[in-house]
Amino acid sequence: MDTVNYSFDPTYGYTLDQLLAVKTPKEPKDFDCFWQQRYQKALTLDPQPHTKIINEDKLGWRLFEISYTSSDNCPIHGWLMVPTSGVINRGFIVGHGYGGRNEPDYHLPFKDAVLLFPCFRGLSLSAQPTISSEPYWHVLHNINQKDHYILGGCVDDLWLAVSTMLSLFPQLSGHLGYLGISFGGGIGALALAWEARISKGHLNVPTFGHHPLRLRLATIGSAKSVQEYYKSHKKQTLSVLRYYDAALAAKRITQPMHCACATFDPCVAPPGQFAIYNALPHEKQLFILEAGHHNYPAQEQQEHELLNQLDAFFASLSEHPTHLNTGDINES
């Protein structure tokens, strides 16, 4: 892999065997208590979803604008896609990377599913004047406050996305999956550790894994911003980040999981990605990417192979059909 664009080696010298041996860091004693309380609070919130149709047939999908209310009365906006015809058997929530999202992913192979694409707070359609949409600053928002760090709010946004989906489509209970890439992968790991309403998950080059490693491995990603802040706020930063370690959360995930992890990645160091995969204690599958956050010759072929794997991995969500027809879904 070409490294001429970087002042460091994006493999960090790790072989695949070494990546598969990365362990989780030490965890706070009240890690479970902190997250369980947060999750239980999120379950009490009414997302009050609203939908508005914006296209009756976009590449085989009915496309809706959607909004709902997350924690701290934070308005979350995104897109909802419903097949133009047929029967709906399952639903997916799809998280985005730190670059945000300009539109839904029309290429996903789940043609019998409702797809919800929320924009996490402060990013893309969910931009706010009080939160920077720049990853460099977004990742630092309230990093000195364990209970108010922006990542926790984004986890809430995902939990409330699940509540929104089940509010609109209660028939899909037991038939929900999650897909998250990069930022959305890390948020997904933090959320799925407690989220029993999601039956299966996929994490693609997930971030926020093994913060002690992330703080010392060179990067051009949002972790660089955290590293620079950490230099002058070491104890305080670590005391908060310990609660937002996606690898520690992964130890608690009980659902079947599929992960795509890269052996070369200048933005999300591979050891952190593999720390998340390695920590998963139950049924799991691994797809090894040649690179993440970096273009390479075999990229299109690998993405095609990955979609085929995901099609097979999530097929079980369509079992025991819901008998929900696409024509039953209108604006709300």
pLDDT attached to residue 332:
63
Residue 131 has pLDDT above 70, yes or no: yes
pLDDT surpasses 70 at 165: yes
Using the predicted structure, report yes or no on whether residue 328 has a pLDDT greater than 70: no
DSSP 19-73: HTT-------TTHHHHHHHHHHHHHT-----EEEEEEEEETTEEEEEEEEE-GGG
User: How many other CB atoms sit within 10 Å of the CB of residue 47?
Assistant: 22
**In 3D, which of 43, 283, 314 has the Cα closest to residue 179?**
314
Domain boundaries, the chain: 16-314
Q: What is the pLDDT of residue 1?
A: 73
How far from chain centre, in Å, is Cα 142? 20
269 Cβ partners below 8 Å, 6+ apart?
Answer: 10, 12, 213, 214, 217, 219, 223
pLDDT in tens, 213-240: 999 999 998 999 999 999 999 999 999 9
Where is pLDDT greater, at 324 or 135? 135
Output the pLDDT for position 104: 97
Averaged over 67-96, what is the pLDDT? 96
Query: Please, what is the average pLDDT of the chain?
Result: 95
Q: For residue 116, what are its two tokens?
A: 């919800």
Query: What CATH number belongs to 16-314?
Result: 3.40.50.1820
Q: Is the pTM of this model over 0.85?
A: yes
Is residue 30 classed exposed, middle or buried when 0-12, 13-18 and 19+ CB atoms within 10 A define those classes?
A: exposed
Percent of the chain with pLDDT over 90: 93
pLDDT of residue 319 exceeding 90, the answer is no
Please say whether the beta carbons of 290 and 37 come within 8 A.
Answer: no
Radius of gyration of the chain (CA): 19
What local confidence, expressed as pLDDT, does residue 323 receive?
62
